[in-house]
Amino acid sequence: MGNHVAITVGGSNGHFELNVYKPLIASALLCSLRLLGDASASFEKNCVRGIEANRERISKLLHEKIGYDNAAAVAEKGHKEGTTLKEAALKLNVLTSDEFDKLVVPEKMISPSD
């Protein structure tokens, strides 16, 4: 934030092409670029390197859920027709009654879960 303020003040207080704050602006910009570069390298080294996809979990979630588009269609249909989500899902043939009851459990939706 300090570099940003220095650049902003330097730019606003300079006079056209005779800006005596150019060295300050250049220094603060280079410092910010260095900080961003170092932070990116550190993030890659300490956080990203070695991360692998949990393919089993991805597959489970992929095949277990109905997806955003279908969920949105169900919500829209239920809202427009004034019906429940379950009725809308059944009309759209997105889920069976048992699948809906298994997936949509309001008690599990009120707090974070794994």
Q: What is the pLDDT of residues 49-97, one digit of tens each?
A: 999 999 998 888 777 778 888 999 999 999 999 999 999 999 999 999 9
Question: Minimal CA–CA distance to 11: which of 20, 109, 63?
Answer: 20
- Rounded Cα distance, 56 and 71, in Å: 23
Which tokens go with 93? 């043939």
Tokens 């027709």 -> residue: 81
How confident is residue 30, by pLDDT bands cut at 50, 70 and 90? very high
Round to whole Å and give the CA distance between 73 and 84.
13
pLDDT at 32 over 70: yes
pTM for the full predicted model: 0.49
Residue 61's pLDDT is 77
